[in-house]
Amino acid sequence: MAETRPRVWVSQPLFDDVIEQLGQHVELAMTHEVTRYTPAMLADQLAQVDGALITLNERIGPAEIANAPQLRAIANVGVGYNNLDVSALSAAGILASNTPDVLTETTADLGFALLMATARRITESERWLRDGQWGQWSFQTMLGADIHGSTLGILGMGRIGQGIARRGALGFGMRVLYHNRSRLPEATEAEVGAQYVELDTLLAQADHLVLVLPYSPSSHHIIDAAALAKMKPSATLVNIARGGIVDELALADALAHGRLAAAGLDVFEGEPTVRPELLALHNIVLTPHIGSASQATRRAMVQLAVENLLAALGLGANAGNPPSAINADAVAAVKTGAATVGGKKTDDAKR
């Protein structure tokens, strides 16, 4: 009798040649057009497969997996996985994975690029030039804030935060402060050139504050009106983590009324929709969630997701042992009936 191969759904067009590696082991259901899925569409797709390779635009919770008895593995192409209800997946015995490490330096690059564009008013300057306003130039046109020698604040000190700290301390001679749920070992602090402070100190002292912490109920709107009021009016804020970390209406209000100099946002609460209050501002740089978007890194993320998925389905070189599983312990516990489910890793170091 012919062996039945597992069925795998790939939710978006990715890198076809990398995805083809899956095709050597599984029956592939590829998606050739970029697609926005409703929960019902996701449920339909997942009902038919053993594994799925998805992006952060696909939100998977109890409703999406309710009719997917054979679903065993979900590989998220991304390091953040707030699009997954990990507890629900664990309870259903579904092994979830993400793509840490391979995107760290690329995302730290983007964080720094956004910081520089924001502090030095790069996109605003370009709009002004394209609008034909150069004839209005004065000595005080487009004055921004210095980066070199200033104080860089980092909220969330996982791998990407550490990459940003290194860039600031070693490349730009910045004084780097950070806050994180757990303090880094002293040797790591010394290596990345960063000093631990309480959150209020971070807010009060940063000339530039970069947000790199994972999104969870405890980080929801951690940067709200009260937090913004603690920052210097001359400060810049950069968010490359998740939109929900910032109260966007409070941010727009602070930027509109001179209580904060400028902001750079790569992530938004209602992606792909951006609030009109943000779009109306001149002192803001907006990018469409491109933190990890270099050719090499996006390819490496898909490669890692493919390895994770194959391994979770018991196939390939790492069979049974996905390189970056999120809930392996919880799934194992469910399978052996050994423990109640949880398995949701929310540690800052995931980023």
Which spans of this chain sit near ligand GLV (rule: CB under 6 A)? 56, 78-80, 103, 291-292
Inter-residue contact 202 to 177 (CB < 8 Å): yes
Residue 331: Cβ-neighbour burial (10 angstroms; 0-12, 13-18, 19+): buried
Give CA–CA dist 5/7, Å, rounded: 6
Q: Calculate the CA dihedral of residues 166, 170, 174, 176 and round it to 10 degrees.
A: 30
Residue 108 or 260 having the CB closest to ligand GLV: 108
Give CA–CA dist 330/192, Å, rounded: 33
* Phi-psi sector, 323: left (phi>0), alpha (psi -120 to 50), beta: alpha
Active site residue 271: yes
Name the minimum Å distance from CB 79 to ligand GLV: 4
Name the minimum Å distance from CB 142 to ligand GLV: 30
Residue 120 or 298 having the CB closest to ligand GLV: 298
* Phi-psi sector, 215: left (phi>0), alpha (psi -120 to 50), beta: beta
Residue 102 or 310 having the CB closest to ligand GLV: 102
Residue 11 or 150 having the CB closest to ligand GLV: 11
Give CA–CA dist 193/174, Å, rounded: 9
Active site residue 191: no
Which is the catalytic residue, given 183, 198, 271, 282?
271
